[in-house]
Structure 1
Amino acid sequence: MRIGVNVGHFAGAPPADLAARLREIDDLGFASVWFAEAYGSDVFTPLAFAAALTSRVRLGTAVAQVPARTPAATAMAATTLDHLSGGRVVLGVGASGPQVSEGWHGVPYARPLARTREYVSVIRQVLAREAPVRNDGPYFPLPSPGSELGKPLRSSLHPYRPGLPVLLGAEGPRNVALSAEIADGWLAMFFAPAFDADYRAALDDGFSRRPGGRPEGFEVVATVPVVIDDDVERAADRLRPDLALYMGGMGARGANFHHDVFVRMGHGDVAARVQELYLDRRKDEAAAAIPTELVEQVSLLGPVSRVRRELDRWESTVVDEIAIQGLPDDLAAVARLL
């Protein structure tokens, strides 16, 4: 199993020692480095920064938001960076959520799966560069309907890799199935080894609708929190606030897809309580309401011996690569362990 690092998006400001940490990730042999975006830092600028400081590690977006830019603009950024990095880019895209899509980008969120399908189709056309790009779909029509001067165009930049991998960030079973149907991989979040059979079933559903079935090279990359600590409870305490944010605060009641993941895992009562407390601004209580058992399901935490045992379980799942969530305090120690 490959091990990478998902730095995520910047909260407040970028890490002061980011340049040195990125060089260390490359030197220590990690497989990849990923960045994210929400409603602050963007995903491509830090990835370009990482490309300039590294020479070997894969460079991934986890994820580039569909509402943040047109599919042509996303393809332009990805293929430009792929040239400049010598073919190291992995393009992860995702629908985001209605609060960010409509409240931050001003883009309707309705029918996110259909919108994502069309978005990826346009990206594929740009990367293939086989003909001028056309799209008759309702979300990203090209040329623009009613335009007198617009005409189909072919990218002036020849892609470094026409087959640059496109992965989908997905949590719900229908979206996971969509990744298997149209993408080169699935970017998983809050993956739990105990539910591996459910994830495999969703993927198989998508592969069944794909001509030729599962394509060679399809990969599953899971972002996973990792905390090495002899005290399991203390390790879990470090993760509870972040889980509470996603479970309770990333969205509204009835429209929080992270929250729904934990409901599907059988933690509906906990998820409801955490959401109630978090939206009531009782964030510390929300974090404290998350049981250690739940934290353990979606993370690697505790003493070294325990984490090594847990890795055996992850090895048997559909996951091909673990992307450690955030920048570990001691990258060298994590590299030796994992």
Structure 2
Amino acid sequence: MELSVITPVVPTRPERLVRIAAVAERTRSGRLWCGQSMTLEQHHLYAYLTGLGFRIEAGLGVSLMPFRHPLQGALEARSIAATTGRPVIAGFGPGATALQASMHGEPYARPLRAAREYLTVVRTLLDGRPCRQEGDYFSFTGELMPMPTPRIDVGLGVLRPGMARLAGEVADVAITWLAPAPYLHDVVRPALEEGAQRAGRPVPKLVAVVPMALDRPDRDPAVLARTPHLRFPHYQDMLRRAGVDVNGEDPDATAAALVDGDVFLVGDPSALDKKLDAHRAAGVDELVVNLAGVAMHEGPTAAAADLEEILAGVDR
């Protein structure tokens, strides 16, 4: 199982990511991921790091479909691959229904159909083929100008079985967030395999973004486990399906449940390594270390220190 890292802070200045990028590059982390940002655009951050001399593979995940047409999504992913000279995973997802409504006037009535149309346009364009799609949600006729780049894989954000089956049909990579290992094993992986078999194609790579922290004195793991994702119904539904006691009226109790259920992992590097055995057994191909809780409460320097110890102490 490959280990990668996601930027643990919402970047307001690009230099705040330099230390994390340096740790990732020095420890040969597989990839530096960056989620959807409402401050500095993720594509600009990779260009900044490349200008400083970093040569790290990029993971975009998960970029929210309502914010960009699939032509723009394909063009930006290709631009990063060309700029960095490294392979890219470009992950996309429909986002929360409230976001969809704020951008389009109403949520996607058929989010699986919207995601299928989106990824089809992106993959067609990145393959260098003309696209002629008249969709219910995303339409495009045209193509990108030819340009050689390293490999670009198209990913889909996955929480529940329907989206996992769709990823099996149309995506190169399935990207999960906050999904515990047993749920990945029992629900997500079988759905991926079902979709891939139905489409007659290889099973997509499974990437799991996993929040964690080292067990240090004066740290309360339940405090570090708090995340704004717990406000959204689709995350609450996924966690309930996974057997996590989600209380929408008590976010503190839910955060504690994330720790108790090994959704948020805590321990020394050796203990974390043992806990990650469940992800290895679930068929996770790439595990993305997420130290956002540490960065939020103790700052990016503390997150970088945790990252260095974790990457040095966990078997890859």
TM-score, length basis structure 2? 0.86
1:239 paired with 2:224, answer yes
Structure 1: give runs of 5+ residues left out of the alignment: 144-152, 251-255, 278-285
Contact (CA 8 Å) 2:93, 2:115: kept in 1 or not? yes
Letter in 1 for 2:282: T
Partner of 1:136: 134
Provide closer, same or farther for how the CA distance between residues 266 and 116 of structure 1 changes in structure 2, counting only shifts above 3 A.
same
Q: Which moved more, 1:32-41 or 1:84-93?
A: 32-41
Does residue 309 (structure 1) correspond to residue 271 (structure 2)? The answer is: no
The separation in 1 between residues aligned to 2:3 and 2:52, in whole angstroms, is 19
CA distance in 1, matches of 2:21, 2:162: 35
| Structure 2 CA distance for partners of 1:292 and 1:155, relative to 1, 3 Å | closer
1:202: Cα distance to partner? Answer: 1.1
Query: What secondary structure does 1:87 align onto?
Result: coil
1:202 matches 2:181: no
Question: CA-to-partner distance for each residue in 1:34-66, whole Å, 9 max, x for gaps?
Answer: 111154443322233333345442101011111
Q: CA deviation at 1:16?
A: 5.3
1:321 matches 2:291:
no
Counterpart in the other structure of 1:276: 249
Q: Is the 8 A contact 2:121 2:133 kept in 1?
A: yes
In structure 2, the residue matched to 1:300 is 265
Maintained 8 Å contact 2:20/2:304? no
Q: How much has 1:320 moved relative to structure 2?
A: 0.9
Cα distance, 1:124–1:289 mapped onto 2, change above 3 Å: closer
Q: 1:54 to 1:290 in 2, by over 3 A?
A: same
Q: Which residue of 2 aligns with 1:71?
A: 70
Letter paired with 2:194: D
Backbone CA RMSD of aligned residues: 2.5
Structure 1 counterpart of 2:41, one-letter code: D
Does residue 262 of structure 2 align to residue 263 of structure 1?
no
Q: Which has the larger radius of gyration?
A: 1
Match for residue 147 of structure 2 among 148, 158, 166? 158
| Alignment length (residue pairs) | 302
Indicate the SS of the match to 1:44.
Answer: helix
Unaligned runs of 5+ in 2: 293-299
Query: Are the structure 2 counterparts of residues 43 and 111 from structure 1 closer, same or farther at C-alpha, using a change threshold of 3 Å?
Result: farther
CA distance, structure 2, for counterparts of residue 240 and residue 35 of structure 1: 19
Question: Paired residue for 1:336?
Answer: 312
Looking at structure 2, the residues matched to 107 and 129 of structure 1 have their Cα atoms a distance apart, in angstroms, of 33
Alpha carbons 2:7, 2:17 under 8 Å: kept:
no
Paired with 1:230 and 1:24, the residues of 2 have a C-alpha distance of 20
State the one-letter code of the partner of 1:264: R
Q: Deviations over 1:127-160 (max 9, x none)?
A: 12233x21122222234xxxxxxxxx33224242
Q: Does 1:229 align with 2:215?
A: yes
Please give the TM-score of this superposition, normalised by the length of structure 1. 0.80
Q: What does residue 282 of structure 1 align with?
A: none
